[in-house]
Amino acid sequence: MSSDDLDALALLHDPVRRSLYAAVAAGGGDVGRGEAAEAAGVSRTLAGHHLDKLVEAGLLESGFRAQEKKGPGSGRPAKVYRRARGERSVSLPPRDYATLASVLAGVVDALGAEEQAERAAREAGVTMGGRHAGEPVEEVLGARGYEPYEEGGAVRLRNCPFHVLAEERPLLVCSMNLALCQGLLEGLGDDPGRARLDARPGECCVALSKTNKD
């Protein structure tokens, strides 16, 4: 944990800032000042002030989007915001699970033990799901930081909770994540086959197909 992380996260103590941050994150891409203001229920001016504070702290990034109408009177480009790529974490007392996870992932690779790792991930998912049996999978994944959203009837996951590890060892981590999600569905009493790999830039590698119950 760095004091920068703590300072940045402390900014979110303000409920307006927190709802603006949530609105931008849920947008999944560039979100305009007006859109964010509307989602948070505040004025554009107030939203702009707080959004810029979040940019200063490195929680959001800003850019400009060209107006759709061209020519005279179309105005200057609109300022847009998106979630910053870097991650922040605070743990008290300090903990560092990521370093050990990275070392262990390297060991799995060195041993060629991917299949055992996937089996272990599946079992962990089943256990996790078992604690929430009967709950909708979207809620359980949401609580675990996957940020599910609906697209064409399927459930996509905006956030990869294992991002840093997935960048280091994508094949191992994405395969384990798929197994974990399948196990989770099984534990919930849902169909494990709904989870499949459907990787896209900037999102989790797993998507869930429509439920068979409908």
Partner 1 sequence: MLSVMHLAQLNIAHMRAPVDSPELAEFVALLEPINTIADEAPGFVWRLKESEEDPTATVVHEYGDHLLINFSVWESRETLWNYVYRSPHLGVLRRRREWFLRMAEPYIVMWWVPEGHIPSLAEGMRRLERLKADGPGPEAFTFNAFYDSSEAVSLPAAAEARK
Chain residues that interact with partner 1, rule: CB under 8 A:
85-87, 112, 114-115, 164, 167-168, 170-171, 174-175, 197-202, 205
- Tell me how far, at minimum, the Cβ of 111 lies from partner 1, in Å: 10
CB-nearer residue toward partner 1: 79 or 196: 196
CB-nearer residue toward partner 1: 23 or 174: 174
* Cβ-contact 121, 183 below 8 angstroms: yes
- Tell me how far, at minimum, the Cβ of 45 lies from partner 1, in Å: 34
- Residue 32's CB is within 10 A of a number of other CB atoms, namely 17
Does an H or E element contain 197, and which?
A: strand 195-197
CB-nearer residue toward partner 1: 46 or 197: 197
- Residue 189's CB is within 10 A of a number of other CB atoms, namely 13
Kindly state the DSSP code that residue 203 receives in the 8-state scheme. S
- Tell me how far, at minimum, the Cβ of 81 lies from partner 1, in Å: 20
Amino acid at 6: L
CB-nearer residue toward partner 1: 144 or 196: 196
Kindly state the DSSP code that residue 195 receives in the 8-state scheme. E
Closest CA to 169 of 105, 87, 122, 103: 105
- Tell me how far, at minimum, the Cβ of 163 lies from partner 1, in Å: 8
CB-nearer residue toward partner 1: 19 or 175: 175
For residue 82, the SS3 value is strand
- Tell me how far, at minimum, the Cβ of 96 lies from partner 1, in Å: 15
